[in-house]
Amino acid sequence: MTQGISRRARWVAAGALAACAAAVTPASAATPAVACTSGSATLATKLKKDITAALANRKGTIAVGLYDRTTATTCSLRAGTAYDSASVVKVTVLSTLLWDAQKTGRALTSREKSLATAMITKSDNTATSTLWKQLGLTKVKGFLTAAGMTRTKPGANGYWGLTQITVTDEQKLMKLLTAHNTVLTDDSRWYVRKLMGDVVSSQRWGTPYGAGSGVLVHVKNGWLQRSTHGWRVHSVGTFKSSGHDYMITVLTHGNSTMNYGITTIQGVAKAIHKDLAAS
């Protein structure tokens, strides 16, 4: 779900699913080229070709990030373009909560665990607002600085769903969650991944689409309709198989419907999972 926004501004959260001004579906701008690098030149070429093909004729503004540690593979498209975060920011909120608790060596309270579980597994907005208010912008910004997420701008006035995010920064966060580092302890990283692995089935669309049965999946999605740029539909995920350790971020806006955005994301994800599985 996404965060409720003021009635006066006529912004609509997906959680409310209320009517708002007609969504705008702009024609696709000239799409910059997908860029891929890899320890395997063949894999890089294949991914570039297949991601590009998946995006052919898809309307809206689409940003893509892929990183696979195993093959040193990176793909990107519009990695620096900013999007309203919708609910994918909830991973940042939980990471901030854990990062702050680490400073004093304390465990999360039962109340915090309950809020965190609802926020990630069910995308509960009320739980998110409670934690966002508890943390405050100073702590959120402190975590972003520690994580090197320099292009992420927290939403003002409590509007966490309007936090500005980029593929570059979301991929940095996914990397932190999937390898030992000095920002989040191993226990904190495990906890975030556990909740992302327990997301309810109705919200497990997006980047996991096309992953093989043997792939370990962690996901968080976001969706938000506003009167400009139509639907924002995003998906971030981490994936681990016997041969690959990778993360995918796809951010989109300018979608005519939520389902249109989901279809776009899943086309990209299917191509990535297929190519990595075959490599």
Question: Which domains, from first to last, does the chain contain?
Answer: 12-278 (3.40.710.10)
Looking at residue 220, its pLDDT comes to: 99
Looking at residue 146, its pLDDT comes to: 98
SS3 content of the chain, % helix, strand, coil (to 5): 40, 20, 40
Which residues, at least 6 apart from 242, have a Cβ–Cβ distance to it below 8 Å? 214
Confirm whether pTM is higher than 0.75.
yes
Alpha helices in the chain (DSSP H): 41-55, 89-103, 110-121, 125-146, 167-177, 186-197, 258-278
Q: Which amino acid, 176? A: L
Looking at residue 165, its pLDDT comes to: 98
Whether residue 129 contacts residue 55, with contact meaning beta carbons closer than 8 Å, is answered with: no
Looking at residue 249, its pLDDT comes to: 99
Alpha carbons within 13 angstroms on the beta-carbon side of residue 73 total: 26
Looking at residue 153, its pLDDT comes to: 98
Per DSSP, the residues of 31-53 read PPPPEEE-SSHHHHHHHHHHHHH
**Cα–Cα–Cα angle for 254, 91, 11, rounded to 5 degrees:** 40
Whether residue 275 contacts residue 66, with contact meaning beta carbons closer than 8 Å, is answered with: no
Cα 71 to Cα 261: distance, rounded to the nearest angstrom = 29
Looking at residue 25, its pLDDT comes to: 39
Distances (CA, A) of 236 to 18, 140, 156, 212: 25, 19, 23, 17
Which residues, at least 6 apart from 266, have a Cβ–Cβ distance to it below 8 Å? 205, 206, 209, 210
pLDDT tens digits in sequence order for the chain, 279 residues long: 544 444 333 333 333 333 333 333 344 445 599 999 999 999 999 999 999 999 999 999 999 999 999 999 999 999 999 999 999 999 999 999 999 999 999 999 999 999 999 999 999 999 999 999 999 999 999 999 999 999 999 999 999 999 999 999 999 999 999 999 999 999 999 999 999 999 999 999 999 999 999 999 999 999 999 999 999 999 999 999 999 999 999 999 999 999 999 999 999 999 999 999 999
Q: Which amino acid, 201? A: S
